[in-house]
Amino acid sequence: MNPLYIGFPAFLTGSIISYAIREYMMGKLSAEQIGAISLAQRRYRLRLLLTCGVLTIFVLAMRMITGGGLGRPAFYAFLASLVVVYVWFNVRTYKAAVNLLSNSHRRLLLAALAAGFAGFAALVASMAAT
């Protein structure tokens, strides 16, 4: 299974759907709510970027140092840790925003997070199957 044929289009589709739902939700919020949500989620976005960057550098270093012997298990560990980090990020950003949103907005945010995760999971699964 080639990730470019199945995983990448699924990831793009999930990301676009998630973005569309978020934009629809943001159109219904006030400027104060949007600002409060953005500020509450700022530290989690930074941690996500740093963690994914460190994981990528670690796997590339493992691949170059050990050759092919530990490359495949390191790649699987990398994919598993990316899923854990992505789920952690979504849970933390949802918890940061849940106090500021009404029930209908919470459902929209949860739908956006689920659509994004579905695309991400399809990409990771196709990468693991190669």
Q: List, for residues 48-102, the tens digit of each pLDDT value.
A: 888 888 877 877 777 777 766 666 777 788 888 888 888 888 888 888 888 888 8
Q: How far apart are CA 2 and CA 129, in angstroms?
A: 8
Phi, psi of 67 (to 5 degrees): 80, -140
pLDDT beyond 80 at 21: yes
